[in-house]
């Protein structure tokens, strides 16, 4: 058999062929494998195929032989099974953090982790849900820089923006850069947030949407020291509804029993309930009195009542009066 320049690559091409074209429902005979190798200008015979398959199995590739008239070789298991890949594809497609273009690129890469036949099922998954996506293409690199800064104990600088009615960026602080110590990245309500620390402010911790950060740079300046006792990310997320920060206070809130699951979802399963009679219970929790928290309370109408502190009750009264003024016209 004449040798080609690709002969040494035969086991690698064989692995590629099996990974791309076979699964438990799609097998390849030795002759079909030989024909596929010929497409790469790699001559082969049955004995060399058997030897290479044994070598690949020893290496760790899970190759099985199905015997019978419709038998052949196939990849029996992979690092990711099809249901796992479907879950990942759905997560990528539905994520608001990733742009449409980046989503497509990621899904194509995920599709390469299974056979071409099964990959078609992943492509059908792409169109299940069409959700709003970020317009910021630099998010990938922003996240990478933030992680590096956290791991190396450095400050970062960045610009922060929001969109106006024309979908144009409007930068905060007249386009001046923020300089902050990055503390943690967290995923909350389908959005990615950066929590920062700066001891010079009265409220030292602040939260920024990662997809609204640009021109992120790691500085040589060392990060401000933040004691572990000062910050607990789990408690921080519980307190700051929608990651909107505000004055933190201990609130006593009375809920209708129909909202038990809602309360557990928000405050966690370790939340203490105190029965208040008539199908009610009371929760005491540290919260940030932000507009998002107030709106969360307000949506439940008479099923929720803020009992304490009185300042929070006053804020709720003002919201009710303002809403009544608008809608009573």
Domain limits, the chain: 7-75, 82-125, 139-231, 241-327
pLDDT of the residue at 268: 75
Q: Domain 241-327: which topology?
A: Alpha-Beta Plaits (3.30.70)
pTM, entire model: 0.58
pLDDT of the residue at 325: 87
In the chain, which residues have pLDDT < 50? Answer: 1, 125-130, 242-243
pLDDT of the residue at 292: 76
For 3, 37, 43, 50, the CA distances from 11, given in Å and listed in that order, are 14, 10, 12, 11
Long-range contacts from 226-233, C-beta under 8 angstroms, 24+ separation: 226/181, 226/183, 226/197, 230/204, 231/183, 231/184, 231/195, 231/197, 231/205, 233/184, 233/186, 233/195
pLDDT of the residue at 3: 59
pLDDT of the residue at 294: 83
Tell me which DSSP letter residue 4 carries. -
pLDDT of the residue at 322: 87
Nearest in space to 253 (alpha carbons), one of 245, 244, 262? 262
| Rounded Cα distance, 161 and 210, in Å | 10
Domain 139-231 class in CATH? mainly beta
CATH code assigned to 7-75: 1.10.10.10
pLDDT of the residue at 134: 62
């Amino acid at each position: 058999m004449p040798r080609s320049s690709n002969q040494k690559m035969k086991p690698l091409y064989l692995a590629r062929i099996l990974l791309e074209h076979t699964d438990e429902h799609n097998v390849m005979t030795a002759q079909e494998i030989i024909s596929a190798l010929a497409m790469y200008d790699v001559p082969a015979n049955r004995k060399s195929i058997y030897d290479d398959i044994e070598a690949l199995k020893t290496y760790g590739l899970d190759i099985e032989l199905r015997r019978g008239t419709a038998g052949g070789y196939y990849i029996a298991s992979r690092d990711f099974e099809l249901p796992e890949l479907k879950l990942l594809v759905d997560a990528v497609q539905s994520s608001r953090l990733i742009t449409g273009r980046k989503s497509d690129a990621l899904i194509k890469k995920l599709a390469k982790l299974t056979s071409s036949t099964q990959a078609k099922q992943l492509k059908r998954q792409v169109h299940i849900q069409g959700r709003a996506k970020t317009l910021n293409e630099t998010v990938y690199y922003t996240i990478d820089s933030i992680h590096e800064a956290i791991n190396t104990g450095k400050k970062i600088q960045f610009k922060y923006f929001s969109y106006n009615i024309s979908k144009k960026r409007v930068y905060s602080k007249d386009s001046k850069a923020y300089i902050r110590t990055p503390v943690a990245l967290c995923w909350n309500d389908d959005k990615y947030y950066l929590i920062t620390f700066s001891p010079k402010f009265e409220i030292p911790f602040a939260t920024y949407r990662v997809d609204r950060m640009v021109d992120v740079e790691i500085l040589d300046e060392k990060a401000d020291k933040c004691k572990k006792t000062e910050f607990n990310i789990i408690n921080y997320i519980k307190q700051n509804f929608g990651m909107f920060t505000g004055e933190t206070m201990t609130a006593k809130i009375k809920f209708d029993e129909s909202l038990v699951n809602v309360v557990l979802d928000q405050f966690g399963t370790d939340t203490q309930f105190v029965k208040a009679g008539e199908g009610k219970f009371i929760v005491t929790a540290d919260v940030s009195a932000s507009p998002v928290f107030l709106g969360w309370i307000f949506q439940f109408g008479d099923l929720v009542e803020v009992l304490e502190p009185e300042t929070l009750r006053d804020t709720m009264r003002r919201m009710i009066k303002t809403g009544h003024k608008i809608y009573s016209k």
